[in-house]
Amino acid sequence: MASLEDLLVLQQHDTTVEQLRHRRVTLPARETLVNLTQEMSVVGLQRDDVQTQRDEVARTQKRLEDEVASIEEKVLNVHGQLYGGSITSPRELQALQDDEIALKRHQGTVEDKVLEQMEAALPLDDEIDRLGRRRSELERAAAEASTTITVDEAEIDAALDVVIDERDVIAAGLDAELIERYEQLRHDLGGIAVARLVGTNCGGCHLTLSSVELDRVRHQPPDTLVFCGECGRLLVR
């Protein structure tokens, strides 16, 4: 009977090991880190999209500014011809004056478009900054979650080492055939192979044994392995 009591203690250790391993896998910080990583990915894609729009605005602004510079150069050239004294024909001078007016008008139109691009860039820059700040916040939170996971894993691993060492000591003192039977039952019965008979109830399936079953169990010799007729677990009487 002492070996069955030890087997029950072994079962308790194995259950604790499973619980600790489950706790290790399902750490709250682990789910937090997954969520943070997913949000960082979304924020990164959003920032890339806004940056693409911003780059397009910058390219358009640069093209327009280059066009303004080209127009200014043409205006200077026309202005030089107009007031340089080399041209005296009234008709040619009028034509140059008309060209200068048209160029300046076109320059003003293009400069207005440059201002439009500058205005369009402002909200995009603000959004890029906002997304960048959010990304930084998420990275800090993810780093904290990673640290928490590392600390929690270390604590659980230390507890596991203690329980497993104790479990090995208990197992070493039990009969090899009994251990083999126990392990097979654990495999077949969802991890719980042995349970105590508490009054009329099996501690494994928590069902009440019939009076016939109880009578059979109680009249078995003390060293006989007895199994629950409901769930098949080894009973410790």
**Average pLDDT in the chain:** 94
Q: Is the pLDDT of residue 11 over 80?
A: yes
pTM, two decimal places: 0.75
End-to-end, the C-alpha distance of the chain in Å comes to 8
DSSP state of 85: S
Same domain for 97 and 123?
yes
Q: In terms of pLDDT, which residue wins out, 106 or 218?
A: 106
Q: Strands of the chain (E only): list them.
A: 194-198, 201-202, 226-227, 234-236
Average the pLDDT over 73-98 and give the result.
Answer: 90
215 pLDDT band, cuts 50/70/90, is: confident
Task: Tell me the pLDDT tens digit for each residue of 118-158.
Answer: 999 999 999 999 999 999 999 999 999 999 999 999 999 99
Average the pLDDT over 10-22 and give the result.
Answer: 96
pLDDT given for residue 2 in this prediction = 63
Q: Residue 11 falls within a domain, yes or no? A: no
Answer for the pair 192, 233: CB distance below 8 angstroms, yes or no: yes
Same domain for 150 and 222?
no
From edge to edge, which strands make up the β-sheet containing 234-236? 201-202, 194-198, 234-236, 226-227
Task: Tell me the pLDDT tens digit for each residue of 114-123.
Answer: 999 999 999 9
Same domain for 151 and 217?
no
Q: Residue 9 falls within a domain, yes or no? A: no
* Boundary-marking domain end, from 173, 200, 227: 173
Same domain for 189 and 167?
no
C-alpha R_g of the chain: 42
Q: Residue 5 falls within a domain, yes or no? A: no
- How far apart are alpha carbons 109 and 215 in whole angstroms? 104
Answer for the pair 61, 114: CB distance below 8 angstroms, yes or no: yes
- How far apart are alpha carbons 50 and 107 in whole angstroms? 30
Number of domains comprising the chain: 2
Which one-letter amino acid corresponds to residue 43?
V
**Can you count the helices (H) and strands (E) in the chain?**
5, 4
Lowest mean pLDDT among 2-11, 18-27, 37-46, 170-179: 2-11
Q: Which of 68, 76, 121 is nearest to 96 (CA)?
A: 76
Same domain for 30 and 81?
yes
Q: Is the pLDDT of residue 1 over 60?
A: no
237 pLDDT band, cuts 50/70/90, is: confident
Which domain CATH number covers 35? Answer: 1.10.287.1490
* Boundary-marking domain end, from 130, 148, 173: 173
* Boundary-marking domain end, from 173, 189, 216: 173
pLDDT given for residue 84 in this prediction = 86
Same domain for 109 and 82?
yes
Domain that holds residue 138: 26-173
Q: Is the pLDDT of residue 212 over 90?
A: no
Same domain for 119 and 207?
no
Q: Which residue has the tokens 């308790």?
A: 12
